[in-house]
Amino acid sequence: MTEKLLIKDKENRGSLVEGRSYQMGFAFLKKTNDCFETVQPISTCKDYLNDIVWSEHVNKPVLAYGLKYTKQGIFNGKTSYMVIKILNYMTPAQYIPYTNFEAHKQGLSKNYINIETLLNWVEHKLGIENSKVIKAKNDMYLVEMPYFWSSSTYLISIYSLLIRMAQFWDGNATPAEFLNSYNNPLDIILWMQYKPKLLLMLAGHKIEQTLDPATGPNIHNEGMGQYKNFKFKE
């Protein structure tokens, strides 16, 4: 697949109440015969990914901050698909440019391979299959990921943060050096919460999560920052 790859954005971001309102957006995708289609609005608030993971695993509809979603069977236990794209501010009436919009679009076009490299470094440490990041039409990028990352809200949460961070990696430092020295104001506070937990994963800690059908209204905020069930592989 190449830059001719088509991703159809079929959802309305204007319906969402986003916790983060500009920069990199995320959405899960459904693979069709000739393209990929969004199953949720592409949103700069990555916590909406948690809602989709929960709905798909417990087979219940979810309502969260403007998102309405019913299971579409997008996870097959092998490969999951996501789109990333740089987005402007959003208001109900229009999309408003932010200062670095064009620079960030150009940066992602230049560095998307580095996102793949960073993800693959983490995945090699974890002993799982590699992700792929593929340039598509309309400034979109397809992320093919091992099902592992979409098996829990904690894992999709740290995975999407690594993607958002890696867009700023120029590839000069090693992946370990980049993660250790990361200080971008966009995500430094969140990274300080997630970093110790990623280090535990890399040291052999197994992430465990039971997705309870009764927790739907609260699952939106159940990202890696909320994870406390620390256990190591035997």
Establish if 200 belongs to a structural domain.
Answer: yes
- Give residue-wise pLDDT tens across range 198-213: 999 999 999 989 999 9
Establish if 16 belongs to a structural domain.
Answer: yes
Establish if 2 belongs to a structural domain.
Answer: no
Residue 48, classed as helix, strand or coil, is: helix
pLDDT at residue number 1: 46
Full-model pTM: 0.94
Total domains present in the chain: 1
pLDDT at residue number 215: 81
Checking if the pLDDT of 2 tops 70, the result is no
Establish if 62 belongs to a structural domain.
Answer: yes
Cα atoms in the Cβ-side hemisphere of radius 13 Å centred on 28:
28
Return the H-helix or E-strand segment holding 113: helix 101-126
Distance of CA 194 to the CA centre of its chain: 14
Asked whether the beta carbons of 72 and 30 are under 8 A apart, the reply is: yes
Establish if 232 belongs to a structural domain.
Answer: no
pLDDT at residue number 192: 96
- Give residue-wise pLDDT tens across range 49-105: 999 999 999 999 999 999 999 999 999 989 999 999 999 987 655 677 789 999 999
Task: Indicate the pairing of strand 36-38 with strand 7-8.
Answer: parallel
Establish if 233 belongs to a structural domain.
Answer: no
Rounded Cα distance, 86 and 84, in Å: 7
For every residue of 202-223, which 3-state class applies, written as one string?
A: HCCECCCCCCCHHHHHHHHHCC
> Domain span at residue 131?
7-226
Q: How far is CA 103 from CA 97, 161, 166, in A?
A: 12, 20, 15
Establish if 1 belongs to a structural domain.
Answer: no
Establish if 231 belongs to a structural domain.
Answer: no
CB atoms near residue 158 (< 10 Å): 25
Asked whether the beta carbons of 85 and 25 are under 8 A apart, the reply is: yes
